[in-house]
Amino acid sequence: MTDFTATRAAFHLPEGMIYLDGNSLGPLPKSAAARVAQTVASEWGDHLITGWNACGWMDMPARLGDQIGRLIGAEAGHVVVGDTLSIKVFQALAAALKLNPHRRVILSDTGNFPSDLYMAEGLISLLGPDYELRLVAPEEVGAAITDEIAVTLITEVDYRTGRKHDMAALTAKAHANGVVTVWDLAHSAGAIPVDLAGAKADFAIGCTYKYLNGGPGAPAFIYVAPRHADMALPALSGWLGHDSPFAFDLGYKAGVGISRMRVGTPPVLQMAALDAALDVWDDVDLNDLRTRSIDLSERFIAGVEATCPDLTLASPRNAAERGSQVSFKFEEGYAAMQALIAHKVIGDFRAPDIMRFGFTPLYLILEDVDQAVERLARIMRDRLWDTPEFKQRKAVT
Amino acid sequence: MTDFTATRAAFHLPEGMIYLDGNSLGPLPKSAAARVAQTVASEWGDHLITGWNACGWMDMPARLGDQIGRLIGAEAGHVVVGDTLSIKVFQALAAALKLNPHRRVILSDTGNFPSDLYMAEGLISLLGPDYELRLVAPEEVGAAITDEIAVTLITEVDYRTGRKHDMAALTAKAHANGVVTVWDLAHSAGAIPVDLAGAKADFAIGCTYKYLNGGPGAPAFIYVAPRHADMALPALSGWLGHDSPFAFDLGYKAGVGISRMRVGTPPVLQMAALDAALDVWDDVDLNDLRTRSIDLSERFIAGVEATCPDLTLASPRNAAERGSQVSFKFEEGYAAMQALIAHKVIGDFRAPDIMRFGFTPLYLILEDVDQAVERLARIMRDRLWDTPEFKQRKAVT
């Protein structure tokens, strides 16, 4: 059994705050502060340029990739860390399209995170008007997978509602129709068990600052299935993805396997924080995590529905169809979330009317859920959100 | 007059080490350690997701961009920080090509850093075989700028030899021929005075971990001339470059001006280090910097030529034609550099035979140069490089 008391103790959780936004930015692992300080003072400070070899900086993207790989069911040696998720979406999508050269349609759904769609638009602006980004409602994705589709670009867990696609079933249908799959694991990695190899996924990408707790601006990751790894062309073909970066050849030659998905110089300080954050996962069983995630989420839903009649569940009621977040709709959701934050329960808001709550078993306990429900119930009952201050919108991530 | 005693004191320089590799990775600014620690412990630790607004993280790419902008002669509000240099090369090149839609040739030179060429190759792999990356010798770039060329992709200062292109003259010739310019300032920003606005440059990109001392994996920057800023399409069209990122629209609409060149979530810890590093530049006059850079470089050349007959100057002899580095050719340059590093003079090696030395006036003094020459002279005279250990190559950046 996973020791969640130990994992909770590994995080710095501000006194009195109930943090239900680990699906946006995970909290600080206590060991990350020392790990980053060491990287700055000793590695950068004392080793300077020699740190790339002496301190293992150059190998970190692959080493951290493997640590993440274990959490998403990837074969060892097939995940690498770097860039941002948007950049990795672009790389995966460009590579996937090249593997299916006679088709022109990218299929996604309207529940996908917009940046994935924007990056697809940008890619199409380069590839030309023959290409099409086709959007359907999330429930219609399965039916829309036909032999006209080149690539599916699907986020497994919906960033607003928490609705979870069936990765294995959709991938099987895609393959039966000659379609290449790109799975975005932004709200999956570290949130639910993922089995990329078992589902025979082709490409996957994700970020590390949400459930993996890598810190603000932590790098993304990319997975390429072993069967594609030496054929997939990265499009963003930077020198660190070259077969021999330090030969400084004038022409590009893609590196072996996943290494070709590296682009430029990796962010060493961010990787140091991520390194510490991933250590917390060493003894975590993802099935235990899932059980606990469902316990926390179900308790929250029951509590809110019992005490907040103005809030409507926006997530699937069936736990098996959700990721590790729960969302409620409320017309004045922005103001209500501001009020809740002022009462030290941190969730977030997604336009137009979604109040979003992440349930992250590494550091949340049932008592946190009960307190969050209690504070939310009071805000709703007493209309504490109904002030000009809370209604005035500012950009939040 | 710039107080270079003060700027030298701002850096952590390991005891006994003479660091001539600030053109690869700048040393640690003393204030960066505290700044990063504060960002980790207080900003991330205590503010968590609210740090994006409360701690100004969301605005940092533009704020740091403006600090860099002052050093490269950019108009205020036209530089933004993010991603890696390779990614910014791709963005600038893709945007520049779209501004010149009837032409198909990208002109670069064989002295360009290979990653720039690789990214151009990758872009062409998406745009199609009508496009061409044309490489000429560095001395032939001027003559090769004709009305056939769509875009020039030129690194102002050659990463191996330090040879400096004439940005104003080449840009003028480009414009006379209807060519759009992309300038890579990797070895210019913080090394020499740059006047993007004066030269009428169209696009510029650069990195911040060399002369700007932002730390290992520090983010890149991109400049778009004001006249193009609201027309240039970023191709890598991520959500933070959207006109209204938090509206979560399904369709992309490019943001105002330089903000559209933002892509994904920016690396907050790296930006914190860069923030501290850029503060060191507050009272630096770039003309003073240039004078001192030339003094240091000339003294090194004179010293090496007087004492190391086996080394041949690979940089231009005329200081006006160099950036802030000096390179020497030596067939066993790799081994000689390893021996020199073992004697605590840190330079680097670039294949096939270049020994490269950066002269960074913020923290180097003439005595450093004299000591470096002395140690190098002894290594060459006594053939201290001629050991199996030093001849065995490992990858270094």
Please report the sign of the dihedral spanned by the C-alpha atoms of residue A193, residue A195, residue A199, residue A205: positive
Are the beta carbons of A28 and B19 separated by less than 8 Å? no
Residue of B25, B40, B123 lying closest to A32 (CB–CB): B40
ipTM score over 0.95, yes or no: yes
Please report the sign of the dihedral spanned by the C-alpha atoms of residue A225, residue A230, residue A231, residue A236: positive
B4-28+285-391 is a CATH 3.40.190.10 domain: no
CB pairs under 8 A between A and B: 294
Helices (H), chain B: 4-9, 30-38, 51-54, 60-71, 85-98, 114-127, 141-144, 167-176, 196-199, 268-279, 286-307, 333-342, 366-381, 388-391
The two structure tokens encoding residue B259: 């903000």
The two structure tokens encoding residue B115: 């990653």
Confidence of residue B286 (pLDDT cuts 50, 70, 90): very high
Residue of A40, A50, A127 lying closest to B32 (CB–CB): A40
Residues of A with Cβ-Cβ distance to B125 under 8 angstroms: 98, 233, 235, 237
B293 annotated as a binding-site residue: no
Residue in chain B nearest A136 by alpha carbon: B250
Smallest Cα distance from B170 to chain A, Å: 22
| Burial grade of B143 (CB within 10 A; 0-12, 13-18, 19 or more) | exposed
Predicted local distance difference test score (pLDDT) of residue A392: 84
Measured distance between the N- and C-terminal CA atoms of chain B, rounded to whole angstroms = 34
> pLDDT at residue B394 above 70?
no
Are the beta carbons of A396 and B128 separated by less than 8 Å? no
Question: Which stretches in chain A have pLDDT values below 50?
Answer: 396-397
Q: Of A60, A9, A47, A46, nearest to A273 (Cα)?
A: A60
B216 annotated as a binding-site residue: no
Are the beta carbons of B397 and A52 separated by less than 8 Å? yes
Smallest Cα distance from B152 to chain A, Å: 16
Instruction: Please give the CATH architecture assigned to the domain spanning B56-279.
Output: 3-Layer(aba) Sandwich (3.40)
- DSSP character for B322? B
Are the beta carbons of A250 and B396 separated by less than 8 Å? no
Pick the CATH number of A4-29+285-391 from 3.90.1150.10, 3.20.20.140, 3.40.50.10490, 3.60.130.10: 3.90.1150.10
Query: Which whole number is the average pLDDT over B16-23?
Result: 97
Q: Give the residue extent of every domain in chain A.
A: 4-29+285-391, 56-279
The residue of A31, A88, A205, A236 whose CB has the most chain B CBs within 10 angstroms, and thus the best one to mutate to test that interface, is A236
> pLDDT at residue B397 above 50?
no
Helix, strand, coil % (nearest 5) of chain A? 45, 15, 40
Which residues of B participate in catalysis according to the annotation? Answer: 113, 184, 209-210, 356
**DSSP 3-state assignment of A180?**
strand
Q: Of A27, A26, A35, nearest to A56 (Cα)?
A: A35
Q: Of B68, B24, B8, nearest to B324 (Cα)?
A: B24
Are the beta carbons of B87 and A236 separated by less than 8 Å? yes
Average pLDDT, chain B: 97
Are the beta carbons of A265 and B135 separated by less than 8 Å? no
Q: Which residues contact B5 (CB under 8 A, 6 or more apart)?
A: none
Predicted local distance difference test score (pLDDT) of residue A394: 62
Smallest Cα distance from B124 to chain A, Å: 9
Predicted local distance difference test score (pLDDT) of residue A71: 98
Smallest Cα distance from B74 to chain A, Å: 24
Residue in chain A nearest B85 by alpha carbon: A264
| Burial grade of A250 (CB within 10 A; 0-12, 13-18, 19 or more) | middle
d(C-alpha B31, C-alpha B28), whole Å = 8
Portion of chain B with pLDDT greater than 70, in percent: 99
**Residues B245-249: contacts with CB under 8 Å, at least 24 apart:** B245/A395, B246/A351, B246/A395, B246/A396, B246/A397, B247/A351, B248/A114, B248/A350, B248/A351, B249/A114
Are the beta carbons of B84 and A85 separated by less than 8 Å? no
> pLDDT at residue B395 above 80?
no
Are the beta carbons of A235 and B125 separated by less than 8 Å? yes
**Known binding-site residue numbers of A for pyridoxal 5'-phosphate:** 85-86, 113-116, 155, 184, 187, 209, 239, 265
The two structure tokens encoding residue B326: 């000096």
Residue in chain B nearest A23 by alpha carbon: B49
Name the region of A349 (left: φ>0; alpha: ψ -120 to 50; beta: rest): beta
Which residues of A participate in catalysis according to the annotation? Answer: 113, 184, 209-210, 356
Predicted local distance difference test score (pLDDT) of residue A397: 45
CA A14 to each of CA A159, A214, A382, B135, B138: distance values in angstroms, whole numbers, following the listed order: 25, 17, 26, 56, 57
Are the beta carbons of B236 and A86 separated by less than 8 Å? yes
Q: What is the pLDDT of residues B235-266, one digit of tens each?
A: 999 999 999 999 999 999 999 999 999 999 99
Query: Which whole number is the average pLDDT over B337-349?
Result: 96
The residue of B133, B209, B239, B392 whose CB has the most chain A CBs within 10 angstroms, and thus the best one to mutate to test that interface, is B239
Smallest Cα distance from A322 to chain B, Å: 21
d(C-alpha A151, C-alpha A103), whole Å = 9
Contact B21, A48 (CB under 8 A): yes
Residues of B with Cβ-Cβ distance to A234 under 8 angstroms: 122
Residues of A with Cβ-Cβ distance to B364 under 8 angstroms: none
Exposed e or buried b per residue across B217-252, where buried means at least 16 C-beta atoms within 10 angstroms of its C-beta: bbbbbbbbbeebbeebbbbbbbbbbbeebbebbeeb
Residues of A with Cβ-Cβ distance to B83 under 8 angstroms: 83-84, 87, 264
d(C-alpha A47, C-alpha B83), whole Å = 24
CA A96 to each of CA A192, B13, B138: distance values in angstroms, whole numbers, following the listed order: 25, 47, 37
Residue in chain A nearest B12 by alpha carbon: A45
Residues of B with Cβ-Cβ distance to A135 under 8 angstroms: 250
Residue in chain B nearest A28 by alpha carbon: B45
